[in-house]
Amino acid sequence: MFNAPEGFRSGFVSFVGRPNTGKSTLTNALVGEKIAITADQPETTRHPIRGIVHREDAQIILVDTPGLHRPRTLLGERLNEMVKDTYADVDLIALTIPANEKIGPGDRWILEAVRAAAPKTKLMGVVTKVDTVSRDAVAEQLVALHELLGGECEVVPVSAVKGEQTDVLIDVMVSLLPEGPKFYPDDHVTDDDANTRMAELIREAALSGLKDELPHSVAVEIDEVLPSQDREGVLDVHAVIYVERAGQKRIIMGKDNRRMGRIIHNARKEIIKLLGQNVYLDLRIKVLKNWQSDPKALGRLGF
């Protein structure tokens, strides 16, 4: 805990919603730095990521969770349990609904799950992706979300991509948090360790351009990180991409290993940015059969 002025507000805020509603993009926009990976595929986020928003009068710890969904695998079940455990520990839950999709049964199911897991936690609504539709459509969605949440719940429209209304969202969140201490020092943006962030950046590069079911089958593990013996100031990062079937390995590799070369190039660039030093990335692919439904494999990969 750190000293904070009188009247300082602080607390934990969890963005919840269906997969692909823009939670990770919003987390990055509010923190002002990329701490959560984003991809076009749903269910990209695999573990709760804490990003810290600093203000003179407040500190918000954002918990970006995997999207709640009806699970098809043991991994899906464990991710859902992880999300529900997170609800119990936060001060405010913000339900995210994209402006370009009508509220449906999936959103209602999530709201029921939230209320069952954290009946006393404050709720608010966030309409995301407002830059993708007309003003009238945004207004319509705001009314619909207000009706869904009921009561006096605050609802804020935002565009994380354009940075529209993000300051307003922070103001509203701060107003709903209790007075409290400063949990993290001012220069802290996340409590994720470097290895976790590197693994996520590699997974993001691997997911880029993939379609259908394959993204769910991709996991990344950092093997070891060592100073290079041959090159001064270079860090050797050894990592493994796991897939479930040999056919998936071929897709990741691409024709003449070109896709794999692109993954290494893009991931290395992001890791250098993260660590602030030159990196040699040694990346291999292994088949770990049906790892999403294998308790041992899930344990090994941190689920």
Q: Which single residue is written with the structure tokens 């006393």?
A: 120
65 is in an annotated binding site: yes
Residue 284's H or E segment, with its range, is: strand 278-287
CA-to-CA distance for 169 and 173, rounded, in angstroms?
Answer: 6
68 is in an annotated binding site: yes
- Compute how many other C-beta atoms are within 10 angstroms of the C-beta atom of residue 42: 15
Contact indicator for 249, 214 with CB cutoff of 8 Å: no
102 is in an annotated binding site: no
131 is in an annotated binding site: yes
301 is in an annotated binding site: no
64 is in an annotated binding site: yes
Q: Which stretches within the chain are classed as H helix?
A: 23-31, 74-88, 105-117, 135-149, 166-176, 194-207, 246-253, 258-275, 295-300
17 is in an annotated binding site: yes
129 is in an annotated binding site: yes
30 Cβ contact partners less than 8 Å away, ≥ 6 residues apart? 51, 53, 60, 62, 160, 166, 169, 170
CA-to-CA distance for 210 and 68, rounded, in angstroms?
Answer: 22
130 is in an annotated binding site: yes
Contact indicator for 211, 251 with CB cutoff of 8 Å: no
282 is in an annotated binding site: no
20 is in an annotated binding site: yes
Q: Which tokens belong to 208?
A: 């880029």
Q: Which tokens belong to 140?
A: 């319509």
256 is in an annotated binding site: no
66 is in an annotated binding site: yes
Question: CB pairs under 8 A, 24+ apart, for 288-295?
Answer: 288/219, 288/242, 288/243, 288/244, 289/244, 289/245, 290/244, 291/75, 291/217, 291/219, 291/242, 291/244, 292/73, 292/74, 292/75, 292/76, 292/216, 292/217, 292/244, 293/73, 293/74, 293/75, 294/74, 295/74
Q: Annotated binding site for GTP: which residue ranges?
A: 17-24, 64-68, 128-131
Q: Annotated binding site: which residue ranges?
A: 17-24, 64-68, 128-131
